[in-house]
């Protein structure tokens, strides 16, 4: 499967012992990624891509996540182009495969169907009843996929805490769903041991499905030939309209938007991007209703966090005139979203991410927004594991609601 030499980020970044770092598989994987990055022609690209994907398929099928993480870590530090290529290739190999059945070969792709939800209560996750699954499959076949596809769907509404958390876990789920889709076989999903969902005010939810077609045949309806072809934008509108009643039952008490089904890693990132400004608006609404303050009575502190480069922003909320941090929101960065030290030191003038954070807060009614001109180390609370947030004095502290706040679980994003 050809890959583009574009920016991507791994699901996990794990520090590994030297033995894993220096294994023969690791050395060969890094060598092939470096060779592909140095290639000057498509013919040579094809040669190295074939070797790279064959090795990745073996590593993923054997659940050898340690080698993948070590290779990403090694290339990230010294070979940016190779890191980007390797990250793309690992994601591609994790979310897609070729499945052989009865003499035919099928391309299978793991997809995520994201829903961006906001509520003042709790965003549901968990089992989806059979009738809603049947409706979802019907609408997928009518508005998203071509007629000849094979489909498998997990009857579970996933939170971000419950989706596969590594490339190997993603591939393991894909292999199980590929068998279900192509062979129409019953498979058992381990749904009873799902991690607990962290309650937040705005968060994505996902339905996961696998779609398969014979090699060379289109998967999506916008890939089909006329007159069966349906443009992507029109497919989205019809899909959203059809799924509204399904989503209303799955997400009671929530405002929501359902996105177009797409590849697993692409849509996980897209969902998290889309929920970021919503999380800030939801935080302002939550504090307004819980504390009886207006948005104008709130102040915010915005700070970049990362080890060497900015990986995320943390936004702290306080009551104007009081130093205590009462709430916090994490704003992660993805793909080509970069923030330089010059951007940080200048207060973000001209940087689209910092401006978007500021504009979102201002539109929500928060006029007092303070931006730190330094990079913070991403610290977490040792007792409860939640992120620590910056105050105006450049300290990172635990966000604590006032003691007289009406009883309700503290929420973070």
Mean pLDDT of 323-334: 93
Residue 285 domain flag: no
Which residues touch 226 (CB under 8 Å, ≥6 apart)? none
Quote the pLDDT of residue 409: 46
Confidence at 407, pLDDT banded by 50, 70, 90:
low
Burial class (CB in 10 A: 0-12, 13-18, 19+), 147: exposed
> Is pLDDT of 57 > 80?
yes
pLDDT band for position 405 (cuts 50, 70, 90): low
Same domain flag for 260 and 302 = no
Report yes or no on 278 lying in a domain: no
What is the domain range of residue 30? 18-94
CA atoms within 13 A on the CB side of 72: 25
DSSP string computed for 142-171: HHTB-TT-EEEE-SEEEETTTS--SHHHHH
* 84 lies in the same domain as 173: no
Centroid of chain to Cα 167: 13
Distance (Å, whole) CA 359 – CA 112: 30
Shared domain for 348 and 389, answered yes or no, is yes
What gap in Å lies between CA 380 and CA 214, rounded to an integer? 47
Mean pLDDT of 136-161: 96
pLDDT value at residue 23: 86
Residue 408 has pLDDT above 60, yes or no: no
The average pLDDT across 319-346 equals: 87
Over pLDDT 90: what percentage of the chain? Answer: 75
For 14, half-sphere exposure in the C-beta direction (CA atoms, 13 angstrom radius) is: 18
Answer yes or no: is pLDDT of 6 > 60: no
Of the CA atoms within 13 Å of residue 141, those in its CB half-sphere come to: 15
The average confidence (pLDDT) of the chain is 89
Q: What is the mean pLDDT of residues 113-118?
A: 95
53 belongs to a structural domain: yes
The mean pLDDT of 13-36, rounded to a whole number, is: 73
Q: Which of 101, 282, 143, 302 is nearest to 202 (CA)?
A: 282
**Domain edge (last residue) among 94, 119, 136:** 94
Instruction: With respect to residue 23, please indicate whether it lies within any of the assigned structural domains.
Output: yes
Both 118 and 87 in one domain: the answer is no
Helical H runs in 200-324?
A: 232-250, 264-291
227 and 323 in a common domain: no
Give the domain-ending residue among 77, 94, 111: 94
Contact, 371 vs 355, CB < 8 A? no
Whether 50 maps to a domain, the answer reads yes
Q: Which of 62-66, 178-182, 241-245, 409-413 has the lowest mean pLDDT?
A: 409-413
- Shared domain for 65 and 114, answered yes or no, is no
> What's the confidence (pLDDT) of residue 52?
98
Tokens of 4: 């583009």
Contacts of 22 (CB under 8 A, 6+ apart): none
Rounded Cα gap, residues 401 and 17, in angstroms: 41
Q: How many angstroms separate the CA atoms of 173 and 147, rounded?
A: 24
pLDDT at 386: 87
Q: Which helix (H) or strand (E) holds 58?
A: helix 42-61
Judge whether residue 12 has pLDDT over 70: no
Q: Is 339 left (phi over 0), alpha (psi -120 to 50) or beta?
A: beta
Tokens encoding 136:
């979802």
* Average of per-residue pLDDT across 31-39: 96
- 227 prior amide bond cis, ω within 30: yes
Residues 6-24 as b/e (b if ≥16 CB within 10 A, e otherwise) read eebbbbeeeebeeebbebe
Residue 323 within any structural domain of the chain: yes
Region 197-220: mean pLDDT is: 93
Cα distance between residue 114 and residue 125, in whole Å? 13
Report pLDDT for 7. 32
* The pLDDT value given to residue 17: 40
| Model confidence band, residue 189 (pLDDT cutoffs 50, 70, 90) | confident
114 in the same domain as 88: no
| Cα torsion through 208, 213, 216, 217, rounded to 10 | -100
Is residue 22 located within the same domain as residue 137? no
What's the structural domain count of the chain? 3
From 236, 271, 306, give the residue that closes a domain.
Answer: 271
Same structural domain, 157 and 259? yes
Q: Is 184 found in the same domain as 297?
A: no
pLDDT value of position 350 = 73
Mean pLDDT of 156-164: 95
Q: In terms of domains, do 266 and 209 share one?
A: yes
The predicted model scores a pTM of 0.84
Mean pLDDT calculated for residue range 52-74: 96
Q: Is the distance from CB of 52 to CB of 32 less than 8 angstroms?
A: yes
pLDDT band at 98 (very low <50, low <70, confident <90, very high): very high
Map residue 335 onto helix, strand or coil.
coil
Could you read off the pLDDT of 233-256 as tens digits, one per residue? 999 999 999 999 999 999 999 999
Any domain includes 250: yes
**Rounded mean pLDDT, 167-171:** 97
Helix, strand or coil, per DSSP, at residue 212: strand
274 or 3, higher pLDDT:
274
In a domain? residue 146: yes
pLDDT of residue 287: 93
Q: What are the respective helix, strand and coil percentages of the chain, to the nearest 5? A: 40, 20, 40
Q: Are residues 52 and 182 in the same domain?
A: no
pLDDT at 385: 82
């Amino acid at each position: 499967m050809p890959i583009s030499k574009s920016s991507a980020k791994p699901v996990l970044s794990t520090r590994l012992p030297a033995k894993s770092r220096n294994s023969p598989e690791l050395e060969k994987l890094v060598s092939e990624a470096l060779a592909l990055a140095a290639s000057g022609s498509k013919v040579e690209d094809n040669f190295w891509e074939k070797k790279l994907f064959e090795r990745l398929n073996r590593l993923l099928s054997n659940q050898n996540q340690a080698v993948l993480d070590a290779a990403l870590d090694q290339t990230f530090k010294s070979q940016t182009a190779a890191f980007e290529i390797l990250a793309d290739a690992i994601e591609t190999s994790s979310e897609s495969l070729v499945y052989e059945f009865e003499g035919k070969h099928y391309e299978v792709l793991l997809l995520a169907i994201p829903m961006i939800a906001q509520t003042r209560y709790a965003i549901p996750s968990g089992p989806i009843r059979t009738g809603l699954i049947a409706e979802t499959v019907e609408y997928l076949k009518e508005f998203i996929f071509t007629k000849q596809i094979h489909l498998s769907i997990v009857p579970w509404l996933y939170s971000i805490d419950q989706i596969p958390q590594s490339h190997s876990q993603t591939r393991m789920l894909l292999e199980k769903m590929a068998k279900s889709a192509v062979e129409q076989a019953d498979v058992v999903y381990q749904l009873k041991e799902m991690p607990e969902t962290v309650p937040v005010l705005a968060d994505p939810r996902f339905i996961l499905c696998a779609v398969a077609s014979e090699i060379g045949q289109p998967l999506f309806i916008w890939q089909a030939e006329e007159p069966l072809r349906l443009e992507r934008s029109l497919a989205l509108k019809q899909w959203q309209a059809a799924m509204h009643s399904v989503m209303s039952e799955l997400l009671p008490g929530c405002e929501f938007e359902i996105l177009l089904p797409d590849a697993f890693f692409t849509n996980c990132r897209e969902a998290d991007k889309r929920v970021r400004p919503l999380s800030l608006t939801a935080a302002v609404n939550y504090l307004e209703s819980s504390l009886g303050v207006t948005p104008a009575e709130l102040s915010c502190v915005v700070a970049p966090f990362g080890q060497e480069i900015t990986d995320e922003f943390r936004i702290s909320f306080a009551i104007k005139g009081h130093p205590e941090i009462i709430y916090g929101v994490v704003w992660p960065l993805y793909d080509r979203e970069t923030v330089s030290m010059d951007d940080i030191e200048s207060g973000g003038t001209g940087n689209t991410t910092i401006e978007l954070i500021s504009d979102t807060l201002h539109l929500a009614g928060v006029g007092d927004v303070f931006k730190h001109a330094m990079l913070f180390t991403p610290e977490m609370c040792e007792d409860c594991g939640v992120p620590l947030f910056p105050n105006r004095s450049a300290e990172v502290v635990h966000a604590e609601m006032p003691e007289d706040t009406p009883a309700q679980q503290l929420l973070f994003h």
